[in-house]
Amino acid sequence: MNIERAVNLTLHCEEDDMRLPVVIAAAVASCWSLAVRAQQPPAGPQPGLKWTEQELITAGHHVRAGRTLTPKSWPDGARIAVCLTFDPDNLTLPLLRGTNAPVTISEGEYSPLSGMPRILRLLDHYNLPATFYVPAVSAILHPDMMADIMKSGRHEVGLHGWIHENPIALNDREEEWRLMSQAVGLLEKSSGKRPTGIRSPYMYMSPFTLELLKRASLSSRLTGSSMMPCFYQRMDHCHPHA
């Protein structure tokens, strides 16, 4: 039993339920198990053990949390601000893996044909703006979806890779740049506006991603640390990338 399930069961037990002590015990056991696993040594090589202090500083300061973006107060006295974003991955993940099995492909059709219209109707009903981070291949396969997103004039389209590729797995600066540039051009053509933001596929960044985002004039959205933007440090100067 994992801790989430244990806690969930605990919340649904009545105080006089005889199962409650058992559930609490299971939750404690799960916490203990997680704590033990957290202290186990990492698997694989540990090159950081042999790095000099300067090498540790250089590696650790490649990306740092920047200034907080939370304002002292929100407009009109609002207590919180909510950002609505959606990632219509659609068929990109199976196609990325080279899969075109009918059942798998049909599952990816739900988003553009059923899910997206329902989301857009809800946003229209409340007159809410949103950002859609679209893999370029999703725009290629479902151009009507892109037209529907842009129809109201309220929504933004951001980049979400070419085909939801993992930039860490690519590990190739030029290939990552080729896919990023290709995706920017395709989304600009399909939406009528050049995207200015990106949510990196898998929420991952390669060692080259921040450099390439600066080159493409793209800002990273919700890939770093919530309201704390990522900073790319170079030559003792900080360059915001969020």
Amino acid at 121: R
Pair 208, 142: CB distance under 8 Å: no
Task: Out of 8-17, 124-133, 212-221, pick the least confident.
Answer: 8-17
**Consecutive H or E run containing 231:** strand 230-234
Q: Please write the tens of the pLDDT for every residue from 180-224.
A: 999 999 999 999 999 999 999 988 889 899 899 999 999 877 554
Record the tokens describing residue 100, joined without a space: 């075109």
Do residue 22 and residue 74 come from a single domain?
Answer: no
Strands laid side by side in the 230-234 sheet:
63-65, 230-234, 237-240
- Is the pTM above the cut of 0.85? no
Record the tokens describing residue 216, joined without a space: 């493409």
> Which of 3-7, 40-44, 90-94 is modeled with the greatest confidence?
90-94
Do residue 11 and residue 99 come from a single domain?
Answer: no
The per-residue pLDDT for 16 is 45
The range of the structural domain enclosing residue 13 comes to: 3-38
The per-residue pLDDT for 66 is 66
User: Is it the case that residue 114 has pLDDT exceeding 60?
Assistant: yes
Do residue 157 and residue 219 come from a single domain?
Answer: yes
Do residue 119 and residue 54 come from a single domain?
Answer: yes
- Name the residue with tokens 């080159």: 215
Neighbours of 22 (CB within 10 A): 13
The per-residue pLDDT for 122 is 97
The per-residue pLDDT for 192 is 95
Q: Please write the tens of the pLDDT for every residue from 26-57.
A: 444 554 454 455 455 556 788 889 999 998 98
Do residue 114 and residue 223 come from a single domain?
Answer: yes
Do residue 149 and residue 193 come from a single domain?
Answer: yes
The per-residue pLDDT for 190 is 96
CA distance 114 to 46: 47
User: Is it the case that residue 6 has pLDDT exceeding 50?
Assistant: no
Given CA atoms 102, 108, 111, 112 in this order, what sign does their dihedral have? negative
Do residue 28 and residue 142 come from a single domain?
Answer: no
The per-residue pLDDT for 12 is 40
Do residue 223 and residue 151 come from a single domain?
Answer: yes
The per-residue pLDDT for 85 is 94
Do residue 174 and residue 194 come from a single domain?
Answer: yes
The per-residue pLDDT for 53 is 94
User: Is it the case that residue 227 has pLDDT exceeding 70?
Assistant: no
**Domain total in the chain:** 2
User: Is it the case that residue 226 has pLDDT exceeding 70?
Assistant: no
Do residue 197 and residue 154 come from a single domain?
Answer: yes
Pair 187, 159: CB distance under 8 Å: yes
Do residue 125 and residue 19 come from a single domain?
Answer: no
Q: What is the mean pLDDT of the chain?
A: 80
Q: What is the CATH number of the domain that holds 103?
A: 3.20.20.370
Do residue 107 and residue 181 come from a single domain?
Answer: yes
User: pLDDT band at 64, cuts 50/70/90?
Assistant: low
User: pLDDT band at 70, cuts 50/70/90?
Assistant: confident
Q: Please write the tens of the pLDDT for every residue from 78-88.
A: 998 888 999 99
